[in-house]
Amino acid sequence: MRKSALDPGAMPVSLRPMDPNRPLGIGVVGAGFIAETRARCYRALGGAARLAAVTSRGGEKARSYAQKFEVGAVADDLAALLSRDDVDLVDLCVPNDLHRPFTEQAAAAGKHVVCTKPLTAYVGQDLGADPDAAAVSATPRPRMLDLAVADAEAMVKACDAAGVQLMYGENWLYAPAVERTRALLEQAGGTILDMRGGECHKGSHSPYSKLWKHTGGGALLRLGAHPVGAMLWFKREEGLRRDGQPIVPVAVVADLADCSKIASLDAEAKAHVTRGWVDVENWGTVLIEFSDGSRGNAWGADTMLGGMESRLEIQTSNARYRCNLSPNDMLQTYAPDASVFGEAYIMEKVDSGAGWTTPMPDEDWTSGHFQMCADFVAAAREGRPARADGALGRDVVRVIYAAYVGAAEGRRVALD
Ligand SMILES: NC(=O)c1ccc[n+]([C@@H]2O[C@H](COP(=O)([O-])OP(=O)(O)OC[C@H]3O[C@@H](n4cnc5c(N)ncnc54)[C@H](OP(=O)(O)O)[C@@H]3O)[C@@H](O)[C@H]2O)c1
């Protein structure tokens, strides 16, 4: 990427310096949950970016999305979106099984690619079209690891070969609490000894999350990808800062469970736990050993009531850091019953404003989504790498699928 920037004559069209007066054209693929977040964030960038086009599987959803977010055009499909000259960057907000093929098509069309987490997943891609769900989840974990990482490698290579950027939609890297930690860590210069962090929900909005065939894993993949990504990035940056070499993960130990299947829940009248997970874990944790001997403990869970919880703690040789992404107490409210705030949005995964709650003033900002979109747009415009890149997304996939191997086989797994 940087090499081509030294030689403008050899640059692919998409990496030539952009007209600074022209906004970066964004093509959004998908019109669901994460696509809405991205639209709010790109629009908040003002003149730097423009929502040029959107496409989704069912045109109706894309049309109402286009109307809601004032998107320039609705494309019939990905090919039509990619053929547009006013699209410079494609943001893939689609299910995991489409990440690789859509990235390869977008790169071949000379567009920068943003791919949401997880970068790839094992969803039975070796079992033909519409594979049997039981066969997918019965696939040996080492094979899942190989295929998921191979897909991620292919995505990185396709974008490198096309001279476009592959950016990885890991919002944790941009959350204000994490960014401030990065800056203080640089100032303090200590060694990170131990990191602990997780993302926990009370279950996903998507019914597809309950089946391996659709998501490629459970809470450890869907939610744990965030803290794993942040930990790998912090150690990578520490190594680069200290001696120009990244500190990398070398081994994992993991455990997984479906805590909603604990027998005593059947007799409880007041259990609020989300149930019905078919073949995926709703609780998972991974211990990561890094090449310098430090450790990370990341977890994801669908068992937690009280709203989304995203936290990261870092202990270093000379300081401690506690990052609260969600919830945080910028605003605390009390209402004696749910009718007081009516339908008002409180925060992700909180349905009621009754009692003490923490309505988030700006979740797109506290979660880092807005700053992430700003970095992606600036990176594409300036021809420099984004903070969250495809290589990080690939490494997260490797750690999590190695964790699946370790949990299935009851052993520590060394990473290649
Ligand atoms: N914090 C985060 O980073 C975060 C949070 C949530 C989700 N995600 C990730 O975002 C991705 C999407 O999740 P979501 O929750 O947004 O799912 P969602 O609400 O179900 O939306 C998925 C969208 O993809 C579209 N789609 C499906 N097949 C397509 C195709 N062949 N061509 C074009 N569009 C197609 C669907 O279109 P139709 O509706 O028309 O069928 C739908 O609009 C997943 O990879 C997930 O892991 C990331």
Q: What is the pLDDT along the chain (416 residues), one digit of tens a residue?
A: 333 333 333 344 445 556 677 899 999 999 999 999 999 999 999 889 999 999 999 889 999 999 999 999 999 999 999 999 999 999 999 999 999 999 999 999 999 999 999 999 999 999 999 999 999 999 999 999 999 999 999 999 999 999 999 999 999 999 999 999 999 999 999 999 999 999 999 988 788 899 999 999 999 999 999 999 999 999 999 999 999 999 999 999 999 999 999 999 999 988 889 999 999 999 999 999 999 999 999 999 999 998 899 999 999 999 999 999 999 889 999 999 999 999 999 988 888 899 999 998 899 999 999 999 999 999 999 999 999 999 999 999 999 999 999 999 999 999 97
Question: What residues contact residue 305 under an 8 Å CB cut-off, 6+ apart?
Answer: 202, 272, 273
Q: Report the distance separating Cα 136 and Cα 35, nearest Å.
A: 27
Strands (E), 159-281: 166-169, 192-200, 249-257
Second-level CATH architecture of 2-170+373-386? 3-Layer(aba) Sandwich (3.40)
Predicted confidence (pLDDT) per residue in 258-268, tens digit: 999 999 999 99
pLDDT of residue 14: 47
> Which residue owns the Cα nearest ligand 1 atom 44?
95
Q: Tell me whether the omega of the peptide bond preceding residue 227 falls within 30 degrees of 0, making it cis.
A: no
> Which residue owns the Cα nearest ligand 1 atom 5?
34
Specify the ligand 1 atom closest to the Cα of 222.
47
pLDDT of residue 59: 85
Is the minimum distance from the CB of 327 to ligand 1 under 6 angstroms? no
Q: Which helix (H) or strand (E) element contains residue 334? A: strand 333-335
Is the minimum distance from the CB of 244 to ligand 1 under 6 angstroms? no
Rg (CA), the chain: 21
Is the minimum distance from the CB of 64 to ligand 1 under 6 angstroms? no
Is the minimum distance from the CB of 33 to ligand 1 under 6 angstroms? yes
Residue 6 CA, ligand 1 centroid: distance in Å: 37
Predicted confidence (pLDDT) per residue in 124-172, tens digit: 999 999 999 999 999 999 999 999 999 999 999 999 999 999 999 999 9
Report residue 195 as tokens: 């990191």
Q: Report the distance separating Cα 355 and Cα 338, nearest Å.
A: 8
Query: Which residue among 92, 93, 100 has the greatest number of ligand 1 atoms within 8 angstroms of its CB, and so is best to mutate?
Result: 93
pLDDT of residue 32: 94
Nearest to 396, CA basis, from 253, 147, 230, 179: 230
Is the minimum distance from the CB of 207 to ligand 1 under 6 angstroms? no
Beta bridge partners of 28: 54, 91
CB atoms within 10 A of CB 293: 10
> Which residue owns the Cα nearest ligand 1 atom 19?
32
CATH superfamily of the domain spanning 172-370+400-414? Dihydrodipicolinate Reductase; domain 2 (3.30.360.10)
Residue 29 CA, ligand 1 centroid: distance in Å: 8
> Which residue owns the Cα nearest ligand 1 atom 7?
34
Residue whose entry in the numeric block shows the structure tokens 């949950």? 33
Is the minimum distance from the CB of 57 to ligand 1 under 6 angstroms? yes
- In the chain, where the domains are located: 2-170+373-386, 172-370+400-414
Is the minimum distance from the CB of 315 to ligand 1 under 6 angstroms? no
Predicted confidence (pLDDT) per residue in 211-238, tens digit: 999 999 999 999 999 999 999 999 999 9
Is the minimum distance from the CB of 63 to ligand 1 under 6 angstroms? no
Query: Which residue among 28, 29, 34 has the greatest number of ligand 1 atoms within 8 angstroms of its CB, and so is best to mutate?
Result: 34
Is the minimum distance from the CB of 34 to ligand 1 under 6 angstroms? yes
pLDDT of residue 350: 86
Is the minimum distance from the CB of 94 to ligand 1 under 6 angstroms? yes
Is the minimum distance from the CB of 30 to ligand 1 under 6 angstroms? yes
Q: Which 8-state DSSP code applies to residue 388? A: S
CB-CB contact of 366 with 41 (8 Å): no
pLDDT of residue 17: 56
CB atoms within 10 A of CB 98: 18
pLDDT of residue 150: 98
